[in-house]
Amino acid sequence: MSVSKKPMVLVILDGYGYREEQQDNAILNAKTPVMDALWAKRPHTLIDASGLEVGLPDRQMGNSEVGHVNLGAGRIVYQDLTRLDVEIKERTFFANSVLTNAVDQAKNAGKAVHIMGLLSAGGVHSHEDHIMAMVELAAERGAEKIYLHAFLDGRDTPPRSAEASLKKFEDKFAALGKGRVASIVGRYYAMDRDNRWDRVEKAYDLMTLAQGEFQADTAVAGLQAAYARDENDEFVKATVIHAEGQADAAMEDGDTLIFMNFRADRAREITRAFVNADFDGFARKKVVNLNFVMLTEYAADIKTAVAYPPASLANTFGEWMAKNDKTQLRISETEKYAHVTVFFRGGGAAGGAGAA
């Protein structure tokens, strides 16, 4: 039997789905002659892209990263969201040595514990329940200065849904008798992934210098002011939360900073701004020597502590093709490069020669 030398193409239509109801169904209402012909004349099937079938909690919506990870692995891969949910439920999260050591180091030196991340119930890049658990961990271990720098979503959640989340955290800090929300900013600024460094700089200055375009006494008040300026959650401009009599929350040498996003692609740029000595994305007005912790590994070349290193997957698509001497070419736009490389190999390192 001869082996075909013709190229084979695997095309991933990110976000393309199947639903029989025609109302509000852009795909079904569009003219799609090529897809119609393939569906009519070629073997096909449907696969689930959400919930337990892709390693997420039941009824949790899927997303681009999750889809690529499962496709590349060829099996169900339990996602960081699910893994962290279990860790928190079983309280092993509260004994994670990387997290506890980072908190203890700051506490013992009289320094601050800064927590930053996407304050969202969306479960795509982060989950606010994980951030709440981190606040509780810091408080339980005796940290007195706990500052939350909240990135607002409005993309994986409704456009103006952040108020309930901010209120929840303000109530939590009040109950603890220590800590506070120190800043709010939309993910448009803090979570860029396409080298738009002017945006990232605004979020960086907000946290390191406690300087922003706006200031408010409370996080909810700052959000309401943003809504009055017609800014949805995603686009809320850098806002310092600093009521009269409160201590400044600018980051200082020796502080701990824990980044609570678990998805890597939109966490890398701002992490590099904090961590890399040779960072050149923008001229940093203030370089802070922090004890920086990534919740998961955002990139292998970012040299800082990782609370939950990646689990390795064997025989992913790329690795298997490489073992069988198949050359691969992965093509995507800049914003999706991680999806066809890192995510498609399950988050691990490249699997040998020829494997992406």
Residues with Cβ < 8 Å from 261, sequence gap 6 or more?
117, 118, 125, 126, 191, 267, 295
Kindly tell me if the per-residue pLDDT of 128 is higher than 90.
yes
Angle at 288 between CA 276 and CA 182, to 5 degrees: 115
What is the average per-residue pLDDT within 255-272? 98
> Is residue 349 pLDDT above 60, yes or no?
no
Inform me whether the pLDDT recorded for 215 exceeds 90. yes
One DSSP character per residue, 175-241 reads: HHTS-EEEEEEEHHHHT--SS-HHHHHHHHHHHHH---SEEESSHHHHHHHHHHTT--GGGPPPEEE
Q: Which among 4, 64, 97, 332 is annotated as catalytic?
A: 64
Nearest of 339, 355, 25 to residue 347 by alpha carbon: 339
Look at residue 5 and tell me whether its pLDDT is greater than 80. no
pLDDT at 356 over 80: no
- Res 15: pLDDT: 85
Give the homologous superfamily in CATH for domain 80-308: BPG-independent phosphoglycerate mutase, domain B (3.40.1450.10)
Does the pLDDT of residue 71 top 90, yes or no?
Answer: yes
Among the residues of the chain, which ranges form H helices? 26-29, 33-41, 64-73, 80-89, 97-108, 128-140, 162-176, 187-190, 197-209, 219-228, 268-275, 317-323, 337-340
Q: Where does the pLDDT of residue 226 fall: very low under 50, low under 70, confident under 90, or very high at 90 and above?
A: very high
What are the structural domain ranges in the chain?
A: 26-77+313-345, 80-308
Which burial class, exposed, middle or buried, applies to 274 when counting CB atoms under 10 A from its CB (0-12, 13-18, 19+)? Answer: buried
Q: Does position 353 have pLDDT exceeding 60, yes or no?
A: no
Q: Pairing state of beta strands 180-186 and 239-241?
A: antiparallel
Identify the sign of the CA torsion 79, 80, 84, 85: negative
What pLDDT is recorded for position 131?
Answer: 99
The band of 247, judged by pLDDT with boundaries at 50, 70 and 90, is confident
pLDDT at 223: 99
Q: Which pTM value belongs to this model?
A: 0.77
pLDDT over 70 at 340, yes or no: yes
- What whole-number distance in Å separates Cα of residue 167 and Cα of residue 2? 66
Q: What is the pLDDT of residue 2?
A: 60
Query: Quick check: 14 pLDDT over 80?
Result: yes
* pLDDT computed for residue 6 by the predictor: 84
The percent of residues in the chain predicted with pLDDT above 70, rounded, is: 96
146-168 pLDDT tens trace: 999 999 999 999 999 999 999 99
Kindly state the average pLDDT of the residues 176-186: 98
CB atoms under 10 Å from CB of 62, counted, come to 19
Whether the pLDDT of residue 348 is over 60: the answer is no
Q: Which two tokens stand for residue 164?
A: 């309930």
Across the chain, mean pLDDT equals 93
Angle between helices 80-89 and 128-140 (to 10 degrees): 40
Which residues, 6+ apart, have CB-to-CB distance to 146 below 8 Å? Answer: 112, 113, 115, 135, 138, 139, 173, 176, 178, 179, 180
Structure confidence at residue 287 (pLDDT): 98
Lowest model confidence (mean pLDDT) among 188-192, 249-253, 337-341:
337-341
Q: Any bridge partners for residue 327, and if so which?
A: none
Say yes or no to pLDDT of 57 above 70: yes
CA proximity to 113, closest of 168, 178, 187, 171 = 178
Establish whether 2 is a catalytic residue.
no
The residues that bridge with 150 in the sheet, in sequence order, are 117, 184
Mean pLDDT throughout 318-327?
Answer: 90
pLDDT mean over 277-289: 98
Residues contacting 207, CB < 8 A, separation 6+: 114, 116, 149, 182, 183, 250, 251
